[in-house]
Structure 1
Amino acid sequence: MCLDKIQHFFSDQGEETLNWWYAKEDEIIDYIDDKLSSNPFIGQAVESGSF
């Protein structure tokens, strides 16, 4: 669900940015997965927002 929102955000930014997202998508997802699996509370709490 969240990944769909991220991809939608990038698709609204134009072709160059969308191509950047597609090139980095797996790397970014792996990084997030690695960080969350080692400590799910590593980041700051999200107070509000659509993400």
Structure 2
Amino acid sequence: MSVNNDVQAKQSENVEFAELSQHERMVLQMFRQMNQQQQRDILRFFDVLLSAK
């Protein structure tokens, strides 16, 4: 069952990836290459930007 869920998640991810623009795909690939701490830092940065008024 878990393998089936993993396959479905990958297929969904591939469809979503295909719908992105070239720039969006590049940013996503760069984000995925970061380590977890770097990803958390980026997400925290976006959170601050989006919550600023």
- Give the structure-2-normalised TM-score: 0.34
Q: Which has the higher helix share?
A: 2
Higher relative contact order (CA 8 A, sep 6+): 1
Greater Cα radius of gyration, structure 1 or 2? 2
